[in-house]
Amino acid sequence: MDDCIFCKIANGEIPSTFLYEDDLVCAFRDLNPQAPTHVLVVPKAHYANIVDGVPAETLAAMVKAVDSVATQEGIRDTGFRVIANTGKDAGQTVHHLHWHVIGGTNMGERLA
């Protein structure tokens, strides 16, 4: 999609370092990390959010990417969060589906 920053990162138009990549998804570090590990898992095709008709195959690829990122970052066993901000009330600012993989610190029990 024109003018979508994550489309441009995913298709290589904007250079980035991928921690994980396959045919359907990529993962790269968040520009403004909120924790020691803060990685974004992003489908290469454009979906506005998690309820935008994302194919099961793409969701499965995203889960595989989360597993890979968590393993690489050494947080697969200590724990991490996967967050998909969706819409205005959740503060979604980039309208291309992405999962935040956040960890490397004790985040406590509070979610919101």
Would you name the residues annotated as active-site residues? Answer: 98
Using CB under 6 A as the binding rule, the residues of this chain from 37 to 66 that contact ligand AMP are 40
CA distance 86 to 93: 9
Say how many residues touch ligand AMP, by CB under 6 A: 10
31 is a contact residue toward ligand AMP (CB under 6 A): yes
Measured between alpha carbons, how far is 10 from 76 in angstroms, rounded to an integer?
24
Contact region for ligand AMP (CB under 6 A) — 29-37, 54-62, 69-77, 102-110? 29-37
Cβ at position 112, least distance to ligand AMP in Å: 14
Nearer to ligand AMP, 18 or 64 (CB): 18
User: Does the footprint of ligand AMP cover residue 92 (CB under 6 A)?
Assistant: yes
The number of CA neighbours under 13 Å toward the Cβ of 20 is 23
> What's the burial of 102, exposed, middle or buried (CB within 10 Å: 0-12/13-18/19+)?
buried
